[in-house]
Every structure is written in structure tokens, then in C-alpha cells.
Structure 1
């Protein structure tokens, strides 16, 4: 494994160590899409994709497309275990990671300079690259707990909200407060939190992740769980208070569900360091967006990784290479003032 440090100082931050999981494979110049006529001026020899903790959708999805791009373009590439969207925005902005994954809420906060990783730093050097999927917010408890609705969560319940700084940790505690839930806040990787729930160390896990969430799928195999939906009234409160949309978790996503579960969601986008060569980012986008079936084999959340969803980005400026791909292949009408460095 490779190790490096993100040296950004903030009033609520200590220097954080990240480990890179090298999932990409170096291949020869004769690789499938290693086009010798392609302009590769300024391309890096390798890349990393900032994801999140193991056991969550970001890591599974990001590891998959990192390996796919590395193989297709003949580069060394892999996924990086991080704390999620907030840290990914910081890593990509500083160039510590070439690519990352974020949700629109953390992206907006990062651009505004309110990212808790580095308060006051406007992370404008992270550019939109391609749409991924919607992140539903959902609540899971053991069936043995008797908790079948948000209103039944007891006061003082120990709730795991995911890694510190993740989308879950940033928004779900506020959502629970809005819905009148009193709780003890716990953080950790999704795999660890799933184990803690099963061991009785947590009462509830509040997930914000693409579905199916690997940790929930694993729990379903090992024990009986309740996947708790929001009521119509609860959903309406969240829609009014937060930058989220209506969402239903399809019944076929989890074996536990017998009917769609009412939820809310936030869009996820892949991001690229804005200084990367346009031809490199365009080629990367082409690999990911040109074959949805291949992406679906990586993770079922990729059912929304479609060119027509380019318009779900209303927050970040586009990387010029990504904007060029979507204009040429999706008829995207991206204004110049939404493209980085465009005049």
C-alpha cells in the first residue's frame, strides 16, 4: 500500500493519513484502448480516486471505475480509502488525488469555504466530471430492537452516522434533529458500524449511500433487519429543510423489503482536479459513460450513471474535458460560465 498525508490545517482538523488501495492494473501499450494516436500530453502515469470507507457504496463503486479506467487507458490507478465527500473535495482541490466522488451538499459547502476539513478555503479547483447516482438517506435497525419507524427510535439511541465528514455525518444528524430524534452520535466506517449494530453496540445506523449498501446487504444475510422508511410527513419536513429530492428505494434492492421504501436523496458526481489535461479527463469520462452495462456490473447504483443526467449538476463548474464529452455525446447545453476557465 502507498501512504501519504493531506497537509491542510483547519481549526477542527488534525493531519489525516490515507492509504491507497492499488486496484488498478498497469498494462502495456498494446492495451485495448491505449490509442497511440491519442494526444496524451501532460497525462499522469497513474491516478487515484477518492472514495470513502470500505463497506460503503462509494468504495465499491469507485474501486470499480478506477480499475476500469486504469485498464482501458493503460495507466496505474486505484481507489483511495477516505472519509467521504468532504475529504474527497479537499484531496481533489489540492491535487493529492486526481479524481474523487462527492454529493452536491458537500460540494456546495466546499465551494463556499465551509468544508470542515479546511474552514475558509474555497475549494474551487475541484471540477464536475460525470453523474454517478442518487444517494438515498435510509435508516436500518435490527428487527430484534422493535424499531420499525423513526418515531420509535428511543431517546438517547446510539446512532452510527458513518465516517466523520461524510455525507451521512454531515446531514443525517441534522435530519434526525429536524424529525425530533434525540440520540448519541457515533462515527466509523460502514463495515465497522454494521458489525457494531449486529453486536448490540449501536441501536440504529443512518445510512446515506447508494443502494444497495454493501454493509446492509451483508447484515441481511447474517441477521434480521428493519429498513425503516420515512413517513410522508417526515419526508416533507426533510424536503423543506435540506437540499434533497424525493426518492423510493425499490423493493428488489434488499431482500428485507416487501414494498418500495420512502426516502430522500442527494445526487453524487465524480470530480476531477481542474488542472488535469482536458484530453485525459475526456478519455476517462468516455470509458465510464460509454457502456452503462459495464458500469452496472460494477454496482447496481450505476443504473443512473447515464449521459442524460449531466444536468443534475447545478453546483460545480465542469472540467473542460468533461464538458466537451457531454456536449458531443449527450447534447449538453453547458453555458461557458459553468465550465472551468471558459470565458
Structure 2
């Protein structure tokens, strides 16, 4: 884990103190906090790499020390930001919608209304892998099989069980864990399939295809239709053949966009400078992580319900994005 974080910082061309020597950084504005925490996710998914990548840019620009907290993913990130146990985090918009309205079981009826959007990150496509020797090549074939879906509090852990229900697919068991753990269980024969949703290429999938022959699992047109009708926060898309080294074909997927979020109490000027640091340096972010190619101001339109932090909204408007007043939080 530590090695990956350092590699992200190196790719950004940041000096070592930007990621390691946090005690030496000084906020550019004395009214800002000296340090903040970011909720990321477990190893094996994109958040674990993307978080330090954008955090390094934000820390360099603001002088505010950013520490990274490993979490179960979007659900826990929302809870932690709401409680101000971390100041910033990363979420998928489907989970954020559940949180905003308090509709999913994990919310326990609570509405998480202190979270604010900062900037769009990248699309999260749902897909999976199996070992080629299993002979499993499609979602329907997973009925009666042992399937891993990532951390319980993450987007795939939240949505894949609902997707199975919608598609009338009944696995023998649904198991939860980090992406790296799921990949290891697949290689050991404890899982028949590993399904995930993350920025692509999914690091754990790329690693798995270097260890042996795998099949990639996607959705049929009928399955996609069912899912997008049942879950309007999902959209259909296609992953290019070149996404994975051994896929050999384009993958038909459904997905939802990811956004960085902050607690509403984050100083407006700090939210502005953090958003500017990330969206204004896309080339450097792409150099650190491929998913950064979609971290563009124009993708702000992917958010239709979660209020933007006033500082983030100010920057997005400055660069030509139409952010309506009713989508800017206090």
C-alpha cells in the first residue's frame, strides 16, 4: 500500500515532502486548517491510488497536510465526512443518492445532508472476472456460484447484490472483502468470480490477468436494459478492447460517476483552491493515474442532485460550467 502511494506521488512529479514530510507543510492561508483527512478505500481498487494522486496536487497547491484513511469505500466515506471524522472523501453518485435521501438499508433511515460535491472524478463501470478454467463467461452463469463483490461498504458491495436480485440470479454465496483479497480468493479457488466497480483498468483485474488466464464478465443488452430501468442512476457504456491486456473484446457495462466530496464546513477558499488544483492540472493527474483522464470540469453535469460546495461551484463557474443556484449548498 505505501509503495503504491509513493509511486503516485512520484508520477505527479511532487517533491518527497509533499506526501511524506507532512509536518513541514504550511497552509497558504492562515485561516485554513493545518491538516485534513481523506477517506479512500481498501487496496485493490482505484480509490486507494486515485486519492493520494489528487491529494498530492491539492496539498502542493494549498500547503494543507492531507492524510489518507483506508475505508470500505463510498458508504463509509459518506458516514465519516458527515461526522467530520474525515474532511474529504470519494463517492459514487448512486451511493451518494442513497445517502442524501436515506433510502438504502445501510443509511438506517438517516439522511446525510452535510456532504458537498467538490469535483467529478471518473466513471465506475460494473464488470468482473473469472478464471478461464472455470468456463464461466456471463452473469447468468454465476447462479449457484461463490461470488466476491468487494468491500461491504463499497459501491460494488452495495449494488451487485441488488443487481443479482433484479436479474433473478441467485449465487450460492456473496462474499465481501478488499479488491486484493477477492483477487487472492479467486486465484485460490475460493471464489468462482470476482465482480467489482472501480475506475478502469481495475488494478486487481489487471494483476489477475498477469497471473493466469481469465474471462471478463459483462452484461447482455437485456440485462443492461433491466438494470438501467431499475436503477436510473446507472448508465450503459462500453469499455474499449484495449482496457485490459487479454480481454480481446469490448465489454458492455453499466456504470455511475464518482465525485470527490467534502464536509460543508470546509473553508470556501480552501475548497476553491483544492478544486482548482485538481481540475486545472489534468495532465499531471493523468500521469499519476489513468482514471484521471475523465476528471474534467465538463463532467460536473454528471451531478444532478448533490449540492456543490460553494468554493467548488465558484471555480466550476469560472471555467464555464453551468452550476444552477439550487445545486450550490450553504
The reply to whether TM is greater than 0.5 is yes
Structure 1 length-normalised TM: 0.86
The structure that is helix-richer by fraction is 2
When the two chains are superposed, the root-mean-square deviation of aligned CA atoms in Å is 1.8
Within-5 A mapping of 1:282-301 = 282-301=272-291
Aligned equivalent of 1:26: 22
SS in 2 for 1:327: helix
Match among 249, 262, 269 for residue 272 of structure 1: 262
Counterparts of residues 106-125 of structure 1 (less than 5 Å): 106-114=95-103, 116-125=105-114
Q: 1:117 to 1:171 in 2, by over 3 A?
A: closer
Residue 271 of structure 2: aligned partner:
281
The residue that corresponds to 1:170 in the other structure is 158
Matched, 1:314 2:304: yes
Q: In the alignment, which of 132, 152, 161 is matched to residue 143 of structure 1?
A: 132
Aligned to 2:8: none
CA contact (8 A) 1:26 1:70 kept: no
Q: CA deviation at 1:222?
A: 0.8
Give the match's secondary structure for 1:226.
strand
Asked if 1:61 is matched to 2:50, the reply is: yes
SS at match of 2:249: coil
Tell me by how many angstroms 1:161 deviates. Answer: 1.0
Deviation at 1:49, TM superposition (A): 1.4
Q: Match of 2:77, SS?
A: helix
What is the distance in 1 between the residues matched to 2:270 and 2:209?
A: 41
> Which runs of structure 2 are paired with 1:153-192 in the superposition (5 Å)?
153=142, 155-183=143-171, 184-192=173-181
CA distance in 2, matches of 1:23, 1:120: 38
CA separation in 2, counterparts of 1:61 and 1:240? 30
Contact 1:25 1:71 in 2 (8 A): no
Partner of 2:294: 304
Q: Deviations over 1:8-42 (max 9, x none)?
A: xxxxxxxxxxxxxx95542757x9xx75xxxx253
Instruction: Give the Å deviation of 1:314.
Output: 0.8
The answer as to whether partners of 1:140 and 1:206 remain within 8 angstroms in 2 is yes
Shift of the alpha carbon at 1:238?
Answer: 1.1
The aligned length equals 311
Give the secondary structure class of the aligned counterpart of 2:165. Answer: helix
1:97 aligns to 2:93 (yes or no): no
Deviation at 1:165, TM superposition (A): 1.8
The reply to whether residue 260 of structure 1 matches residue 256 of structure 2 is: no
In 2: Cα distance, 1:234 partner to 1:74 partner: 48
Per the TM alignment, residue 186 of structure 1 is displaced from its structure 2 partner at its CA by 0.3
Contact 1:27–1:75 (8 Å) recurs in 2: no
Task: Describe the superposition over 1:102-128 as per-residue Cα deviations: whole angstroms up to 9, x where unpaired.
Answer: 011111111112355552321111100
> Taking structure 2 as the reference length, what is the TM-score of the superposition?
0.90
> 1:6 aligns to what?
none
Cα offset, 1:73, TM superposition: 2.2
Name whichever of 181-190 and 75-84 sits farther off: 75-84
Write the deviation string for residues 281-312 of structure 1: whole angstroms up to 9, x where unpaired: 11101111011111112211111100111111
Answer with 107-116 or 280-289: which moved more.
107-116
Shift of 1:163: 0.6
- Partners in 2 of 1:251 and 1:148 — Cα distance? 16
| Residues 131 and 306 in structure 1, CA contact (< 8 A), matched pair in contact too | yes
Question: Judging changes above 3 Å, is the alpha-carbon distance between structure 1 residues 137 and 59 closer, same or farther for their aligned structure 2 residues?
Answer: same
